[in-house]
Structure 1
């Protein structure tokens, strides 16, 4: 609920380690070709779940 914290978190998630982690998660999910439901608890800015939705449109995502 704090805009300053949200802005700082958004900047942090764009650093290389987080980008690599998102790629790794998506790569592993693609191996299963999932079509069920995925819940992202504590999704923060939603960057990960947005990218998952783009790459795996059959998944029902909640976050």
Structure 2
């Protein structure tokens, strides 16, 4: 394999990788849209650390 063929293989690999990455991004967006249409809003809340609201003591003035 000479240098020109090696460059062609590298370029082809880069194009295929880019194409697959764009396909995955598109499929993810389609899946997310489908889930938003199918699921009720309570299942679409973001996950993470939940904090309780601080209780405020009544003021006795």
TM-score computed with the length of structure 1 as normaliser:
0.32
Structure with the larger strand share: 1
Higher helix proportion (structure 1 or 2): 2
Q: TM-score, normalised by structure 2?
A: 0.33
Q: Taking CA–CA contacts closer than 8 Å with sequence separation of 6 or more, which of the two structures ends up with the larger relative contact order? A: 1
Report which of the two structures shows the higher radius of gyration computed on alpha carbons: 2
